[in-house]
Structure 1
């Protein structure tokens, strides 16, 4: 009988049904990193979200057969160590196909139309003191006719492309930064940045993509361009972005992620002067978290467990 231990149950708000095979189920609302080894002792299946499962931990868990990641990103799992041990690692795919693209478009609309600046103008009485019926101190741009560059064109990037096209945007799919040739339908990375009125990131975090967008990339973008990141905080040099926003290298940014979450020890993008800017939006990693999306995640999580128990593992990373 499988022993299943769910280490971070509170990381989703959804009904999580029990698997259809014989098992013992234990769950913890939250788990500290230092508690992982003890709680997984004897477990054959571990369900994790952001906790680290490294080679040392894997070596200390001889019964472990599967790591079920309750998310898409799995950079917190030592996949090679799992592969060597024959441990199956499965992740969640496709569940955020609507919620993340909608968040991206919400950020693009709010920044393009200067919604926060105008909201503040009403709050501080500027409109009330205006000499005419409207108050337009801040530029308003349409998404229609603007160029959107997508860095990463998987399920989420494609979802953003569909919504952007519906708004009349021209969509460029960027080639990988280090690519020596360009696939049909793609644009060189540097050229995509140069042409873009907005850039949206949708690639995984890896050694190759860490700080993919740094000072040189930000300076190569149009001064009127927007940068949206709903993928991983480490894709962007956050100190460089803070300077870009303060010094006007780009027009604005919308972020749903930071390099360390939660940001208990601060972050350049949490500086009060940045959070007060009307052209910078920072949300607490919730682009994925609509209620329908979380329920779809929960269902796929259990489906992954059941497929593994049948001997037909799915969504496998190892």
Structure 2
């Protein structure tokens, strides 16, 4: 059963074992990357297609005349036209909960950077500030402890829970936000507005939907403490980027750390990338990308394919076909 991986290069730097995939099905064709113009030609004759971020639109799906399964090498699946796949009765599956540890530690890395002022102290040393200091220990930047600080968690699923467990070990106080539009508060949770008003750190771990788009904007920034740090390792659309930039420039918040931008890669630039101060940390959508996480994702892809071929349950997205 011919299987084509359209952008294998996006999930490996030569450090991934493909054995699980190749034991599940054969033969394979791996492409490091596939442009929009190359998609139709490359999926001709394919019975299984795997894509991380390559767009599989209606034209592509209907052009693949032998197609039986689409696998997304990620949790998000907005790169696949689900309606077109359903019309052709082609199941689409994704992989879930493979990057929990990686994203959780990345979130804490951001928090520790702000607490220990790592970026500023590293820059100070590179500029000779320690070497020329009068004191053995320059106190240019205020280091703080995470112990006793309040962490507001927005999105308390797999990822939010993992972050909570690590933060608890640091001695942090935890506030779990209820849905923003909720009419009642579940046990163990707190009203959304109360969380963002009280938190010293706020971390986002919710999916992007019509309800959560621009979950954080000017109104929410105005509710926050001026000393708060906002962290987003989830989806870029959760924060209004223009409002974030204004909050940073105006000193409305103490800082922010983000692993996601509206357009990735930001080939046309982004005003956040031009922000000149160290209280904004940006990483290139790498929170998920530990080698363990990527290998786990590959193994789960193999499980999806194997279970599909054996008529067993798998992570099918367009469940109306089931």
Same fold (TM over 0.5): yes
The answer on 1:16 being equivalent to 2:18 is: yes
Displacement after TM superposition at 1:55 (Å): 3.4
Aligned mates of 2:168, 2:24 — CA distance in 1 = 44
Asked if the contact 1:19–1:306 (Cα under 8 Å) also holds between the matched residues in 2, the reply is no
Q: Please identify, of 305-314 and 78-87, the stretch whose mean Cα deviation from structure 2 is larger.
A: 78-87
RMSD across aligned C-alpha pairs, in angstroms? 1.7
The correspondence of residues 138-157 of structure 1 with structure 2, limited to 5 A, is 138-157=141-160
The answer on 1:87 being equivalent to 2:86 is: no
Aligned mates of 1:151, 1:85 — CA distance in 2 = 38
Give the secondary-structure state (helix, strand or coil) at the position aligned to 1:262: coil
1:221-260 CA deviation, whole Å, 9 max, x = no partner? 1111111111121221112111211111111111111111
1:251-296 CA deviation, whole Å, 9 max, x = no partner? 111111111111001112111xx1x312111111111111111111
1:195 is matched with which residue? 198
The correspondence of residues 54-203 of structure 1 with structure 2, limited to 5 A, is 54-203=57-206
1:121-157 CA deviation, whole Å, 9 max, x = no partner? 2222333343332211222221111111111122111
Aligned mates of 2:67, 2:210 — CA distance in 1 = 27
1:85-144 CA deviation, whole Å, 9 max, x = no partner? 332221112211211111110110001221111222222233334333221122222111
Aligned mates of 1:22, 1:91 — CA distance in 2 = 17
2:302 is matched with which residue? 302
Displacement after TM superposition at 1:62 (Å): 4.0
Asked if the contact 1:114–1:279 (Cα under 8 Å) also holds between the matched residues in 2, the reply is no
1:5 is matched with which residue? 4
2:281 is matched with which residue? 281
2:265 is matched with which residue? 262
Displacement after TM superposition at 1:9 (Å): 0.7
Asked if the contact 1:90–1:316 (Cα under 8 Å) also holds between the matched residues in 2, the reply is yes
Asked if the contact 1:75–1:206 (Cα under 8 Å) also holds between the matched residues in 2, the reply is no
Displacement after TM superposition at 1:84 (Å): 4.2
Aligned mates of 1:22, 1:297 — CA distance in 2 = 16
TM-score (norm 1): 0.93
Question: 1:151–1:129: structure 2 CA closer, same or farther, 3 Å change rule?
Answer: same
Give the secondary-structure state (helix, strand or coil) at the position aligned to 1:67: strand
Task: Please list every run of 5 or more consecutive structure 2 residues that lacks an aligned counterpart in the other structure.
Answer: none
Give the secondary-structure state (helix, strand or coil) at the position aligned to 1:239: helix
Asked if the contact 2:24–2:302 (Cα under 8 Å) also holds between the matched residues in 1, the reply is no
Question: 1:286–1:15: structure 2 CA closer, same or farther, 3 Å change rule?
Answer: same
Question: 1:270–1:198: structure 2 CA closer, same or farther, 3 Å change rule?
Answer: same
Displacement after TM superposition at 1:169 (Å): 0.9
Asked if the contact 1:75–1:205 (Cα under 8 Å) also holds between the matched residues in 2, the reply is no
1:48 is matched with which residue? 51
Asked if the contact 2:25–2:305 (Cα under 8 Å) also holds between the matched residues in 1, the reply is no
